[in-house]
A and B are shown apart, each in its own frame.
Chain A
Amino acid sequence: MSVQRNDWSLQRKGIIDQERHKERVRDAIKKNLGSIVSNESIILSDGKKTVKVPMRSLDEYKFRYDHNKKKQVGQGEGNSKVGDVIAREGGQQGQGQGKGQAGNTGGQDFYETEVDIDEIAALIFEDLQLPYLKEKAKQEVPATTTKFTEIRRSGVMANLDKRRSILENIRRNARDVGAAKIGNFKKEDLRFKTWEEDIRHESNAVVIAMMDVSGSMGEFKKYIARSFYFWMVRFLKTKYDNVKIIFISHHTEAKEVNEEQFFTQGESGGTVVSSAYKLALEIIKERFPPKDWNVYPFHFSDGDNYYSDNDEAVRLADELIKTCNLFGYGEIGEEGASSYRRSSGALLSLYKDHLKNKERFIGVRIDDKEDVYPALKEFFGKRGEKV
């Protein structure tokens, strides 16, 4: 019979196995990336750090009763009667047995887990790389801040480091007088901070996001484009210090817009693709000279261009490719329609046939939310490998 207290600080088993569980969550996420990449709660997360994602492979399967077909025993407050409703399905209802019994999670048929968006991003980006990454002249960004990096024994009184000076004073007193106390400051106690100007080098990338907002681009198509850009920008930010995005929306005319307009603007009119490319080329020339910037123009459309504009579009696309690292084109189909119903007049096949410089062009077709992840892989996959 005894009461003891031991040192448990080295006990780590629970934490180690929690790590194993986390690993499983990661595996499950990996397997479900296709649906997670275009999951609304992530794309529309508005800067939240974690999101809830359903994980189907983390249940512990056992033979168990169908919770909904089971009679259970509960306890009332003394006045229960037949016919009383104690809970609704979907809400938490009374559990007969307390902890650990089968059926406790009834009604919920998968395990939902909270995941860090950064963690998902890391998994998605694991397989991605930036093609044709060129060493650009790095821009020297003028110092906007100064950093105090060193402590010296002499300096300007304005930069006196009071804390350190007092410490030195106490130390010296302890040495000389034998008592650690403050007082009797001498010059040798003083310490000063010195600073450096902070000069940073930045690598720059600009994404020229172009989107067709003609009458045929519905909500679903915009959502696809949006989730694609969401991940693309996040990915580029891991590779470059400074990523700018220029939004261009177009129907028969092209216009530079802000992000909100880009994703929410109503749609109307026909499609003249070359107008967007022309504007993109102008913007690149004026603001993002390719010698300083890695340029990534991407264009999403449903592929229904005015017939008469096709030649011009192909010509300008070739122009664009010359100035940029990679030109991406995504053709978005109707939701759920997976077969190619499109005529050969659609832009994607046109580009595939007629572009001169195909090496830096990537065209994909997206018909479904689940296609976003493969498309990302296609754009940023390892060159020379078919995904």
Chain B
Amino acid sequence: MADREVKALEEALEKIWEIALRNGLDPFPTRFEIVPATVMYEVGSYALPGRYSHWTFGKAYHRMKTMYDFGLSKIYEVVINTNPSYGFLLETNSLLQNKLVIAHVLGHVDFFKNNVYFSKTNRRMVDEVSAHAQRISEYEFQYGRKVVEQFLDAVLSIEEHIDPNFFIKKYEDESKTKGKNKSPKAGRYDDLFHLEQQAKNKLEAKDKDKNKDKAKKQKEKNPLLPEKDLLYFIMKNSPTLELWQRDIMSMIHQEMEYFVPQMQTKIMNEGWASFWHARIMRELDLSDDEHIEFANLHSSVVSPHKNQLNPYYLGYKIFEDIEKRWDNPTEEERRVFGRKGGEGRAKIFEVRELDNDISFLRNYLTRDLCEELDLFVYELQDDEWTVTEKKWEKVRDTLVGNMTNFGCPYIEVTDDDYNGNRELYLKHRFEGIELDLKYAHKVLEYVQQLWGRTVHLETINDSETTVLHFDGEEHKED
């Protein structure tokens, strides 16, 4: 962008901002930064600027940049959910593209600020992650880069397995400690520092117990189980980890707490931003040429790819549909639900505040929409991916099912003293789709590394209950 265009963009920004506020959007103050492609892809591959170093980020960066260099794909915008927010604009975008991106980003920022799932989000996460990066690089210095890298490999294999409602636990913990001991500055991970001693005490106590009541085989189960938050549970209870390792796990946990709301609201978030860039751009004074460019760009953003579902498009269509239906309800809707009409705008703002992808789709993906969008369920039959279902309820339920637990298998700790030997027992809460066993084996190796003792995973394979075991040396299965 030439300097002249930057000027023009600044002017446009003021207008866009004003239109957004007039329409009821309520974003954080936002700083836009024009950056070269390399920086764009860097921020894109780390999801936040300044995060710790790891080869997986390098791999993502390399892939994105290569795609860009070959003209295969392009990121138009990256937005950071902090207060103030940051929007990154690509230097090589045209003036109009960047106007649209600004409008789109304001939609995202409004969503970040007002959707309830983001209400506990740390809005100074950029500072936080750079503090993490600092600490991790100190550990690298102290314990060796390879050692830290291998540990991170293991932790990252289960990073998605945290509890999205972790903040509830956090408050419970805090209120408990407040009552009991008044240790100054009780940070949320302070209890870490006594863990080793605690773990030791526990072990010793257990040994004594064992001798005492050998007869009593039925042992008491840990009352905190089952626990869905593998990362947290292992961090707190692993018999082997050192303090710096637990510290790294707590950092990764914090970063995932930050990312989880974004994973839970992808379709809505993109839909909302697309809805608003379309509205705002229509209110903006555009020249004829710009109008055509805008129309092209908008349709490419929200167009379905061949046979694939475009989250931007789906979310966009649903928001439009809600507004329409609440503005002009049918006779039946007026009678049964008491809708008065003309409430479309208010309704979509309510939805953007209260829903996440699952409830959004379950409540607002209607039969008409399914048919209009020509959605279908497909699966592998022999060697062919075949359309197997067109009934709209089935389509909706499959979609919602695939979003459950943001698309990750639901796995929980059910026993931390399996075989009376402090072995870790994980259970896959089976919901109809089987695991990729090859991958499960590999992750089990990582979990074993973190737990330090034999680990087990119960799941269902080929319709039969299967338990995988890994003791650090060989895999068993029964």
Q: Are chains A and B native binding partners rather than an unrelated pairing?
A: yes
Q: Which residues of A contact B (CB under 8 A)?
A: 1-6, 8, 11, 13-24, 58-90, 93-98, 101-103, 109
Given A11-B39, A17-B53, do A73 and B377 touch, yes or no (CB 8 Å)?
A: yes
B309 touching A96, Cβ below 8 Å: yes
Whether A84 pairs with B38 at a CB distance below 8 angstroms is no
Q: CA separation between A21 and B387, bound complex, in Å?
A: 39
Interface check B163, CB cutoff 8 A: no
Check B377 against A72 for contact (C-beta < 8 Å): yes
Contacts of B408 in A (CB 8 A): 62-64, 102
Report the nearest B residue to A87, measured CB to CB: B385
Contact of A80 among B383, B390, B435 (CB under 8 A): B390
Closest to B461 in A: A66
Cα A66 to Cα B387 in complex, Å, equals 18
Interface residues of B in 11-70 (CB under 8 A from A): 13-14, 17, 29-36, 38-39, 41-42, 45-46, 50, 53-59, 61-62, 65
Contact (Cβ within 8 A) A8 B61 = no
Q: Interface residues of B toward A: which range? A: 35 or more
Given contacts A76-B374, A82-B387, A89-B385, contact A71 B443 (CB under 8 A): no
CB distance from A19 to the nearest CB of B (A): 7
4 nearest CB pairs, A to B: A17-B58, A94-B307, A21-B58, A14-B42
With A3-B13, A3-B32, A82-B388 known as contacts, the answer to whether A98 contacts B376 (CB < 8 A) is no
Contact present for B55 and A23 (CB under 8 Å): yes
Contacts of B54 in A (CB 8 A): 17, 20
Known: A62-B443, A94-B308, A94-B385. A5 touches B435 (CB 8 A): no
A61-B157 CB under 8 A given contacts A5-B33, A11-B42: yes
Nearest Cβ distance between residue B210 and chain A, in whole angstroms?
32
Q: Which A residues lie within 8 Å of B35 (CB)?
A: 6, 8
Q: Which residue of B lies closest to A20 (CB)?
A: B55
Contact A2 to B436, CB < 8 A, known contacts A76-B307, A88-B385: no
Does A70 lie within 8 Å of B433, measured CB to CB?
yes
Contact A2 B388 (CB under 8 A): no
Interchain CB contact (< 8 A) of A64 among B29, B310, B373, B435: B435
Return 14 A-B CB contacts under 8 Å, by A number: A5-B6, A8-B38, A13-B46, A62-B158, A62-B443, A70-B433, A72-B398, A73-B375, A74-B376, A76-B307, A79-B374, A80-B390, A86-B386, A88-B385
Tell me whether B169 is interfacial, beta carbon within 8 Å.
no
Contact with A along B374-403 (1 / 0, CB 8 A): 111111100111111110000100110010
Determine how close the nearest CB of chain B comes to the CB of A367; give it in whole angstroms: 27
A17-B61, A82-B387 known; A72 vs B378 contact (CB < 8 Å): yes
Asked if B472 is at the interface of the complex by the 8 Å CB criterion, the answer is no
Judged by a CB distance under 8 angstroms, whether B337 is at the interface is: no
| A62-B160, A63-B411, A75-B373 known; A14 vs B380 contact (CB < 8 Å) | no
Check A78–B374 contact: CB distance below 8 A: yes
A88 contacts which chain B residues (CB < 8 A)?
383-385
Is A63's CB under 8 angstroms from B440's CB? yes
**Cα(A113)–Cα(B156), bound, Å:** 22
A98–B374 touching, CB < 8 Å = no
Complex-state Cα separation, A14 to B434, whole angstroms: 36
Q: Which of A1, A20, A65, A74 is within 8 Å of B436, CB to CB?
A: A65
Contact of B433 among A65, A83, A98 (CB under 8 A): A65
- B161 near A: Cβ within 8 Å? yes
> Given the complex, which residues of B lie within 8 Å of A61, measured CB to CB?
157, 439, 442-443, 446
Task: State which of A15, A69, A85, A102 has its C-beta within 8 Å of the C-beta of B384.
Answer: A85
Q: How far is the CA of A69 from the CA of B379 in the complex (A)?
A: 7
Instruction: Determine whether the beta carbon of B29 is less than 8 Å from that of A3.
Output: no
Q: Are B384 and A63 interface neighbours, CB within 8 A? A: no
Chain A: minimal CB distance from B300 (Å): 15
6 new A-B contacts at CB < 8 Å, known A11-B42, A20-B55, A109-B438:
A2-B10, A3-B13, A17-B61, A64-B436, A75-B374, A89-B383
